[in-house]
Amino acid sequence: YIGDCIMALFNLPSHLEEHENAACHAATECAQLLKRLNKRWKSFYNLELGQRIGINSGEVLAGNIGSSQRLAFTCIGDNVNLASRVENINKYYGTSILITESTWQKIDHEIFSSRKISTVKVEGKNIETSLYEITKESKPEKKELFKMYEDALSWYDSNQLEAAKNSLDKLLQKHPKDMPSLHLMQRIEKSMSGEWERVEAMEK
């Protein structure tokens, strides 16, 4: 536990096959359980809780870290920091689960549906990474939403702003509350009146 945050490690300290899938299974199951709990809390207490999850894959420094007075098993490094930044970035897009491209490349896409949300640079890093939202939902409406969004994002990434806006307009007619789409529309409108940027620079 780190304040109100939980850092979960997969493939540490013991080897775990398909650990990227395991991490994404854990994240999506947390989301499904919270959705059920929120229905109950809403009816009894008029209260709902949110959560944000960021997942990244890569090498870390792991072991018993500390001093002779206090040692604890943990991991540190750039990839740990990136996972933390990705968790926080959810609030910009209105998402609850985001994974980096290094994780996305290794998950089973027959199990998880995903859409590329954006390409970003986090504060203090010059390396860009693509971020993906994942879900286990297999409803046709969800797959259509993800496909339409990625089409619009592809137009935007190619600096075809009119095509991106037209594509996104059609999406928002069907899904007017989709937060990543509303965020992308803001980027498109800003780019039309100023300088286009394919990569979003994210602050803390």
Would you state the pLDDT for residue 4?
80
Q: What is the pLDDT of residues 42-69, one digit of tens each?
A: 999 999 999 999 999 999 999 998 888 8
Is the pLDDT at 1 greater than 70? The verdict is no
For the cut 70, the answer to whether the pLDDT of residue 23 exceeds it is: yes
In this prediction, residue 126 carries a pLDDT of 79
What CATH architecture is 1-137? 2-Layer Sandwich (3.30)
Q: Closest Cα to residue 119, out of 94, 136, 134, 98?
A: 98
> Hey, is 13 helix, strand or coil?
coil
Query: Could you tell me which residue, 3 or 197, shows the higher pLDDT?
Result: 197
| Residues forming CATH 3.30.70.1230 domain(s) in the chain | 1-137
Mean pLDDT score of the chain: 94
DSSP sequence for 98-153: EEEHHHHTTS-TTT-EEEEEEEEEETT----EEEEEEE----HHHHHHHHHHHHHH
Among residues of the chain, what percentage have pLDDT more than 70? 99
Residue 118: the pLDDT is: 98
| pLDDT level of residue 204 (50, 70, 90 thresholds) | low
pTM of the predicted model as reported, rounded to 2 decimal places: 0.93
What pLDDT digit, counting tens, does each position of 138-184 carry?
899 999 999 999 999 999 999 999 999 999 999 999 999 999 999 99
What's the pLDDT score for residue 124?
A: 73
The answer to whether residue 3 scores a pLDDT higher than 80 is: no
Beta strands in the chain (DSSP E): 53-55, 61-66, 71-76, 97-100, 113-122, 129-135, 200-202
**112: pLDDT confidence band, cut at 50, 70 and 90?**
very high
